[in-house]
Amino acid sequence: MAEQMNEYFALASRPAGTPALEHFTVKKEELNMPEDGQLLVKTLYVSVDPYMRGRMKDAKSYSAPYAIGEPITGGSIGRVLHSRADGFKEGDIVAGGWGWQRYGIIDSKACRRIDPELAPITTALGVLGMTGLTAYFGTLRIGNPQPGETLVVSGAGGAVGMIVGQIGKIKGARVIGISGSDEKNRYLKEELGFDEVINYKTDQPLAEALERACPDGIDVYFDNVGGDITDAVIPLLNRNARIPLCGQISLYNQEKPELGPRILPMLLTRTVLLKGFLVGDYAAEQEEGLRELGQWVREGRLKYRENIIDGFDNIPEAFIGLFSGENLGKQLVRVAEDEEN
Ligand SMILES: NC(=O)c1ccc[n+]([C@@H]2O[C@H](COP(=O)([O-])OP(=O)(O)OC[C@H]3O[C@@H](n4cnc5c(N)ncnc54)[C@H](OP(=O)(O)O)[C@@H]3O)[C@@H](O)[C@H]2O)c1
């Protein structure tokens, strides 16, 4: 094999506040060969995700913090260059968690094979991967929108949010999306059929904009964002409303938690269900979720959008852009051209 070296991104230091390029560094190492049960994979695409910000803190959470100087792991797709695992062969496309590296050496049990005939391979990191499953299980298992109910989703122009809104429409709900850009909102309304859209940066006061958009109150609030947006949504919740608590991106860069209005009395008196969830909680039902999402995509009922930036060197920039809303849909980075295609 011509290439003998691997390159990967590591944390140079832990960000305080919003991450910047200086917090990331490229490391080189000799490329090893896989051992029994492993694959050597050439990375084609990597995912950048808001949850990675949590792993940049030295704090106990549901997944371990990234170690300084070690590869930043996360969702990736690549082509198998060498297999020492049963059931995988050279040339296969796989998705796994080796992250921001040019090559991955991975345990075959920790990856899944992708069939490029079924859908573009990038969808395995988006609508037909972790992102789609997050929207699917959060909306259906917790939000459970009913025909005629009102569903509000924050972070609506992002990867998870735009799928949530479309699932809400499939289930017959009236869907209101909140995002930070008119361009995103135009797409949500004109292309995806959202009923109303709100720009949280310009439609102020937000509470009044929400009241206008939700004359019958809110039955499901899919929360991707938290902070001021959630504070404005809570007073409009109807009796027995449900909140799938998916993410709190507006708070991820805070060093100290900020106190908002005390919302628990409102949740109490309206008998609201607030449930935090992690997509991994639904691992046993993953196949079912992917099957239904895939069917909706094939039927044209579920559209997806990917924001693809080119170049390994641009991975940190793509990640940082999540916090200023650069992406419409799923943010990915193309690390290498797939020479087989
Ligand atoms: N629970 C789980 O298992 C799970 C799994 C996946 C993702 N998540 C969470 O789901 C949320 C969405 O993830 P995603 O992958 O779909 O990311 P994304 O929405 O594609 O990207 C992040 C978006 O968040 C918005 N945003 C950033 N900072 C904000 C702020 N301060 N206030 C309001 N909006 C802000 C930006 O859009 P604007 O232009 O609208 O500002 C940005 O485009 C995140 O909170 C993530 O942590 C949870």
- CATH number for the domain spanning 145: value is 3.40.50.720
Judge whether residue 340 has pLDDT over 80: no
The model's pLDDT over 85-121, given as tens digits with 9 standing for 90+, comes to: 999 999 999 999 999 999 999 999 999 999 999 999 9
In sequence order, what are the residues at sequence separation of 6 or more whose Cβ sits closer than 8 angstroms to the Cβ of residue 16?
Answer: 255
CB of 307 closer than 6 angstroms to any ligand 1 atom: no
CB of 225 closer than 6 angstroms to any ligand 1 atom: yes
251 pLDDT tier (thresholds 50, 70, 90): very high
Mean per-residue pLDDT, 179-203: 98
Mean per-residue pLDDT, 77-89: 97
Contact 76/43 with Cβ under 8 angstroms? yes
Q: Which of 126, 127, 129 is nearest to 111 (CA)?
A: 129
3-state secondary structure of 12: coil
In this predicted structure, what is the pLDDT of residue 339? Answer: 74
Domain match, 273 and 142 both: yes
Domain boundary among 280, 296, 314: 280
Domain match, 134 and 120 both: no
Tokens of 222: 């899919």
Domain match, 58 and 91 both: yes
Strands 76-83 and 218-222, bridge-based pairing? unpaired
Protein residue with least CA distance to atom 43, ligand 1: 325
- Ligand 1 atom nearest to 138, measured from its CA: 1
- Ligand 1 atom nearest to 281, measured from its CA: 3
Judge whether residue 275 has pLDDT over 90: yes
Contact 107/37 with Cβ under 8 angstroms? yes
- Ligand 1 atom nearest to 161, measured from its CA: 16
Classify residue 341: in a domain, yes or no. no
Residue showing tokens 């309304």: 189
Domain match, 66 and 149 both: no
In this predicted structure, what is the pLDDT of residue 2? Answer: 53
Domain match, 101 and 214 both: no
Q: Which of 216, 290, 312 is nearest to 5 (CA)?
A: 312
Domain match, 137 and 276 both: yes
Q: How far is the CA of 334 from the centre of ligand 1 (A)?
A: 21
Classify residue 77: in a domain, yes or no. yes
Mean pLDDT of the chain: 96
Judge whether residue 306 has pLDDT over 60: yes
Quick count: other Cβ atoms within 10 Å of Cβ 276? 14
Mutate to test the pocket of ligand 1, among 136, 160, 183 (most ligand atoms within 8 A of CB): 160
**Structural domain of 83:** 5-126+305-334
Domain match, 100 and 178 both: no
Q: How far apart are the first and last CA of the chain?
A: 20
Domain match, 156 and 50 both: no
Mutate to test the pocket of ligand 1, among 163, 178, 182, 224 (most ligand atoms within 8 A of CB): 224
